[in-house]
Amino acid sequence: MPASSDHDPGAGEDTGDGAGAPSVDAAEIAGFEALAAQWWDPDGPFRPLHRFNPARVAFIRDRACAHYGRAPQTHIPLDGLTMLDIGTGGGLVAEPMARLGAEVTGIDPSAKNIGTADLHAKAMGLDITYRTATAERLAREGKTFDIVLALEVVEHVADLGAFLGAGAHLVRPGGIFIVATLNRTARAYALAIIGAEYVLGWLPRGTHDWNKFVTPAELRAGLEASGLRVTTVSGIVFNPLTASWRVGTDTGVNYITVAEKTP
């Protein structure tokens, strides 16, 4: 299984502000920056992620609509909701969310990613606030959002607990935190690392470090320690016949979790 890893190293401090980076891994960021310009090339290195995108975007839309009592099939179902996308990468999720009506802020510790994302959103006529920043920094500023996303981020952070704490802080009371990542199973190792990086060449080698993958139990514990209540854990599974992804019950490789903050 490929696909994760669009949103890269999401946590930690700004690389630029010298404030120290407890949960950012500098070597990983450098690797992603090399790819920043290719985010939106349908035949480029992020092609698998574009194929992966509809399943998780549908999940986010549907969970957000269920939580806020909106009808998902309407024109702009997320109209007026504020959303933070941590580790926004090239904006692959931020853009569709903005089209669905959300007021989106995208942050990423990589200035190159933010530059690429901002340029692309402007070209598409979308109003998205992009900042080179970390979750910790935004949390210190006291900002909160109706929906916070951390997609394919936690498997890249150095300190999971610190990252989830900052993310939880950014959710306004009554809001939701959606976290997607890779499970630390033998199957995930075979599919995400051997399969996607080495055999299929879907992802650059070295994209993932299996030891940093997070199990659903660890993620649940971290979210609960940050004062959130986990409401949904779903798998995102690959169908090789249609080369497409859908949300299902198998959390053995890619999975996505929703947690609520008490109002």
Partner 1 sequence: MGDHAEMMGDIRAEVTVVGGGMAGLTLALALASAGLKVCVIERADPARWADQAFDGRVSAISAGSRRVFETLGLWRAMAVEAAPILDIRVTDDDQPFFLHFDHGELGLGPLGHIVENRVIRAALLGAVDRSPSLALIAPRGVAGIERDGREAAVILDDRRAVTAPLVVGADGRASAVRDGAGINQTEWRYDQAAIVTTVTHQRPHEGAAWERFLTPGPFAILPMTDDDAGRHRSSIVWTEQSDLVPALLDLGAADFNGALGERFGDHLGAVSAIGPRWSYPLGLSLAESYIADRLALIGDAAHAIHPIAGQGLNLGIRDAAALAEIVVDAARLGLDFGMKTVLEDYQRWRRFDIVALAATTDLLNRLFSNAFGPLRLIRGLGLAAVNRFGPARRLFMREAMGLSGDLPRLVRGEAL
Of 7, 48, 31, 35, nearest to 200 (Cα)? 48
Q: CB of residue 123 vs partner 1: minimum separation in angstroms? A: 5
Residues in the chain, how many? 263
Structure tokens at 252: 């053995």
How far is CA 18 from its chain centroid? Answer: 24
Nearer to partner 1 by Cβ, of 60 and 160: the residue is 60
Cα–Cα distance measured from residue 121 to residue 127, given in angstroms and rounded to the nearest whole number: 7
| Residue 107 burial class via C-beta count within 10 angstroms: exposed 0-12, middle 13-18, buried 19 and up | buried
117 touching partner 1, by CB under 8 A: no
- When binding is defined by CB under 8 A, the residue of 22, 31, 50, 190 that contacts partner 1 is 50
75 touching partner 1, by CB under 8 A: yes
Nearer to partner 1 by Cβ, of 58 and 190: the residue is 58
Q: CB of residue 5 vs partner 1: minimum separation in angstroms? A: 16
Nearer to partner 1 by Cβ, of 75 and 142: the residue is 75
88 touching partner 1, by CB under 8 A: no
Q: Which helix (H) or strand (E) holds 247?
A: strand 244-248
Q: CB of residue 100 vs partner 1: minimum separation in angstroms? A: 4
Percent of the chain as helix, strand, coil, to the nearest 5: 40, 20, 40
Count of residues that interact with partner 1, criterion CB under 8 A = 25
For residues 228 to 247, the per-residue mask of contacts with partner 1, x marking binding by CB under 8 A and - elsewhere, is: --------------xxx---
Is the separation of the CB atoms in 4 and 28 below 8 Å? no
262 touching partner 1, by CB under 8 A: no
119 touching partner 1, by CB under 8 A: no
Cα–Cα distance measured from residue 8 to residue 181, given in angstroms and rounded to the nearest whole number: 11
Cα–Cα distance measured from residue 23 to residue 21, given in angstroms and rounded to the nearest whole number: 6
Of 193, 196, 194, nearest to 155 (Cα)? 193
54 touching partner 1, by CB under 8 A: yes
Q: CB of residue 47 vs partner 1: minimum separation in angstroms? A: 7
- When binding is defined by CB under 8 A, the residue of 19, 31, 37, 58 that contacts partner 1 is 58
Structure tokens at 100: 């669905």
Nearer to partner 1 by Cβ, of 97 and 157: the residue is 97
Structure tokens at 144: 């909160």
Give the footprint of partner 1 on residues 18-47 (CB under 8 A).
Answer: 40, 42-43, 47
Chain contacts with partner 1 (rule: CB under 8 A): 40, 42-43, 47, 50-51, 53-54, 57-58, 61, 72-73, 75, 95-100, 123-124, 242-244
